[in-house]
Structure 1
Amino acid sequence: MARPSQAIDQALLASGLLLYPQCGCAGLSLRKVAEHAGTQPAMVHYHFGGKPAFLRAVLQQLYERLFSELNLPGNRQGGPRDRLRAALLTLGRFLLQHRDIAARLALDMAQGEPVVRSFLQTNAPRHIGLLLGLMAEARAAGELLPLAPVQIFVFLMGAINAPTLVATGLQREDVAASLLGDRLSEQVLTDEALCQRLDLALAALSPRHDRPGGPS
């Protein structure tokens, strides 16, 4: 049976998730979170024990949603390449949906925020390990070129997900608006654009006879 105070827990976590992209670790005050959630700052201390633990809980809850989606039964159907594509698409869509949070995480990590560093050190190996395993299966089945696994991983992340973060950063800082304008949203930050990048990247890593236009 859920605790009566669970609604307050979840309201605080939801407020933290909404405020984090704007404020980051340094600017996110417990008073601001409590006001947004319609409660008192003491409730954050009561439920989470302080700001670092609260921030970690906010990030962890979001990450567990991602990892659950990566492990959905639908992502385990088909051959190795199909399963790899499904996992990459799930990750890419999650990043696209939460790109403001991901961009703030990257900024906080670059600034050496201990909570973010600890969070990423603990959790990143989980989805990276899952993806490396799927890549190894696809390589063993002859569905990917026999390149080093880390080389494949870095290439795929750079081709599929890095544009989401770059475009988000350019929009946030209003960089080159006269040149890029709405084209960032239309040509980079859409599901269609994400699928195009994913399929182009996998095609580039496929054996030659599997590539579009290659010999049959």
Structure 2
Amino acid sequence: MKTSARIQFIEAGLRLYPKYGYRKLSVRLLAAESGLSSGMFHHLFAGKDAFIAELWQQHYETTFGTIDFISDGHAPPSEQLRHAIRLLAHALRDNLDWVNRLFADSSDGIAAADIFLRRHATQYADRLYDLLGQCFPNMTFSDLVGRMSYILSSVITPMFLAVRFDNMGILPEKVRTSTPDLLTDEAIEQRITWTFSTLPA
């Protein structure tokens, strides 16, 4: 069965977006990548903004949208939180090129990127803070924010910084060659273990 032109454009966008981002991803590039015409693009999509919105949503639904933070509801809240952090870390690791590009577009003043990030990040934040609150039921929300910052910066941030600094060419060679090791399942699990073992009671 022949793939529809709409799907061909979306698939082309999925391949090209991490490299070009919002501003440089042109209809001309999409047409060349998909093997279709620019006229067909304008027939199928109301414009570039509508296309990008559909592209982001499509990628989200097939990646982050499949995350199920609910593990064993009978497990202690701390184990459920570890499970949620693990799933989020793996999803971010597997989509670093996309996430970095989306953050770059947001930093570049693309309002649609801000809206998209806020809309989808909120649901993850709500779930994580709910679990953290169950772990520390007598803690103020301000203190919960501090602890969540500690968890996320310990487990997830190293992946983003390592890739960003490597791309910038500012890492010493012996550090740069070890950067991929930070992205392995084992490394993520080790950071989770370290983080939760040092989390103040």
- Name the TM tier (shorter chain): 0.7 to 0.9
Structure 2 counterpart of 1:203:
197
Structure 2 counterpart of 1:53:
50
Question: Gaps spanning 5+ residues in structure 1: where?
Answer: 208-216
Structure 2 counterpart of 1:83:
80
Tell me whether 196-205 or 21-30 shows the greater mean CA deviation: 196-205
Deviations 1:147-173 (A, max 9, x none): 722112211221111111111112222
Deviations 1:97-145 (A, max 9, x none): 11111111222211111221121122221111121112112223x9x99
Letter aligned with residue 61 of structure 2: E
Deviations 1:53-85 (A, max 9, x none): 111222122223344333265465622122211
Rounded to whole Å, the distance in 2 between the matches of 1:190 and 1:145 is: 34
Rounded to whole Å, the distance in 1 between the matches of 2:72 and 2:34 is: 35
Structure 2 counterpart of 1:12:
9
Aligned residues with identical type, % of pairs: 25
1:137 maps onto 2:134 in alignment: yes
Question: Gaps spanning 5+ residues in structure 2: where?
Answer: none
Distance 1:44 1:74, change over 3 A: farther
Rounded to whole Å, the distance in 2 between the matches of 1:180 and 1:159 is: 18
Asked if 1 retains the 8 angstrom alpha-carbon contact of 2:89 and 2:156, the reply is: yes
TM-score by length of structure 1 reads 0.81
Tell me whether 148-157 or 36-45 shows the greater mean CA deviation: 36-45
Asked if 2 retains the 8 angstrom alpha-carbon contact of 1:19 and 1:28, the reply is: yes
Structure 2 counterpart of 1:211:
none
Rounded to whole Å, the distance in 2 between the matches of 1:38 and 1:76 is: 49
Secondary structure at the counterpart of residue 118 of structure 2: helix
1:153 to 138, 141, 148: 148
What RMSD in Å do the two structures reach over aligned CA positions?
2.6
Secondary structure at the counterpart of residue 159 of structure 2: helix
Tell me whether 160-169 or 10-19 shows the greater mean CA deviation: 10-19
Rounded to whole Å, the distance in 2 between the matches of 1:164 and 1:122 is: 23
Structure 1 counterpart of 2:65:
68
Rounded to whole Å, the distance in 1 between the matches of 2:30 and 2:73 is: 38
Deviations 1:82-101 (A, max 9, x none): 22111111110111111111
1:189 maps onto 2:183 in alignment: yes
Tell me whether 6-15 or 92-101 shows the greater mean CA deviation: 6-15
Rounded to whole Å, the distance in 1 between the matches of 2:156 and 2:72 is: 19
Structure 2 counterpart of 1:43:
40
Rounded to whole Å, the distance in 2 between the matches of 1:33 and 1:90 is: 32
